């Protein structure tokens, strides 16, 4: 029988409860604090997502140590990994997954969505074998998102919407715990009016029995998020909008005559990011 990971348990509970878990991109102490505080205030589970592309900010072992320290400081160590998870976002390399798994992450995303279908299956399955042997959850992606404005995820993205039949085969052949789908959201802010293919999502959800993941949360209108969650999205990723809010807060402080201290900039960016995260956490609980 397939072993249940904390990651899949967290997302299955969300799917049953018709809400989505927020996965906030985090790459600094301030972004970790912002995500933890926003989730704690709302009393919801959360995933802290370190992208492979942010390894130059934080290596996985440092991220684990930081999260353990923050949870210990608030006396909530036991929140890990069922209420607070540490997730590796968009790993293009198997070795990044291994590094995160060995460091103690609760889930990893192997992103071979840029490869041909069979290659994506192969690379994902390799990670599933390693991860599940350690009780770590795995997300993978089928299809690809376009890059929106201010996107920091990918410089170029060609949108390829997820094929529902392929999704069914992919999940069966890989054994992943969650599947990221491409249904029209973009990485970054939308350049025009968001147009989500909800019929496609519905069809994928009918064929696939694992929780579904929506990347490109930033700027997605509340009513579309609510519909997507109702149709089976159990995890939504947010990066760009929180980052823009943090940068804005720093920029407006820098425009003042008296130069700030570095420590002040950290606190300013933290509260700006936290406000955006709080907003999305509310939107991901449409039934409440």
On whether the CB atoms of residues 181 and 150 are closer than 8 A, the answer is no
- Helices 94-103 and 60-73, axial angle in degrees (round to 10): 30
- Record the tokens describing residue 111, joined without a space: 């992103």
* 114 annotated to bind ligand: no
* 264 annotated to bind ligand: no
- Helices 222-230 and 198-207, axial angle in degrees (round to 10): 20
CB of 278 to ligand 13P, least distance (A): 15
Residue 188 interacts with ligand 13P (CB under 6 A): yes or no = yes
Q: How far apart are CA 179 and CA 175, in angstroms?
A: 10
Residue 217 interacts with ligand 13P (CB under 6 A): yes or no = yes
* 3-state SS, residue 287: coil
Residue 216 interacts with ligand 13P (CB under 6 A): yes or no = yes
* 41 annotated to bind ligand: no
Q: How far apart are CA 167 and CA 180, in angstroms?
A: 10
Which region, judged by CB under 6 A, interacts with ligand 13P, from 12-20, 122-130, 166-174, 234-242? 234-242
Residue 118 has, within 13 A of its CA and on its CB side, a CA count of 0
Of 89, 158, 163, 209, the catalytic one is: 89
**163 is annotated as an active-site residue:** no
Among 30, 99, 139, 153, binds ligand 13P (CB under 6 A): 153
Which region, judged by CB under 6 A, interacts with ligand 13P, from 38-46, 193-201, 238-246, 270-278? 238-246
* 203 annotated to bind ligand: no
Active site residues: 89
Contact residues for ligand 13P, defined by CB under 6 A: 25, 89-90, 153, 187-188, 215-218, 237-241
């Amino acid at each position: 029988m397939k072993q249940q990971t904390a990651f899949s348990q967290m997302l299955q509970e969300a799917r049953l409860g018709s809400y989505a878990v927020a996965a906030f991109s985090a790459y600094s102490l301030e972004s970790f604090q912002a995500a933890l505080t926003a989730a704690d205030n709302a009393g919801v589970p959360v995933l802290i997502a370190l992208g492979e592309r942010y390894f130059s900010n934080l290596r996985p072992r440092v991220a684990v140590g930081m999260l353990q320290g923050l949870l210990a400081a608030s006396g909530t160590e036991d929140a890990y990994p069922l209420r607070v998870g540490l997730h590796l976002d968009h790993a293009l390399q198997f070795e990044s997954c291994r590094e995160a798994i060995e460091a103690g992450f609760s889930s990893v995303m192997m992103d071979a969505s840029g490869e041909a279908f069979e290659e994506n299956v192969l690379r994902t399955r390799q990670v599933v074998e390693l991860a599940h042997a350690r009780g770590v959850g795995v997300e993978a992606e089928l299809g690809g998102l376009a890059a929106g404005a201010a996107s920091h995820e990918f410089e170029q993205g060609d949108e390829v919407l997820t094929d529902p039949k392929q999704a069914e085969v992919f999940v069966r052949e890989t054994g992943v715990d969650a599947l990221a789908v491409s249904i029209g959201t973009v990485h970054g802010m939308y350049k025009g009016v968001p147009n989500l293919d909800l019929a496609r999502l519905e069809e994928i959800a009918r064929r696939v029995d694992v929780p579904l993941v929506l990347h490109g949360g930033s700027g997605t209108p509340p009513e579309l998020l609510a519909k997507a969650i109702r149709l089976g999205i159990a995890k939504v990723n947010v990066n760009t909008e929180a980052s823009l809010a943090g940068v804005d807060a720093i920029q407006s402080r820098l425009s003042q005559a008296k130069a700030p201290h570095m420590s002040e900039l950290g606190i300013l960016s933290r509260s700006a990011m936290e406000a955006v995260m709080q907003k999305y956490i509310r939107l991901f609980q449409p039934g409440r």
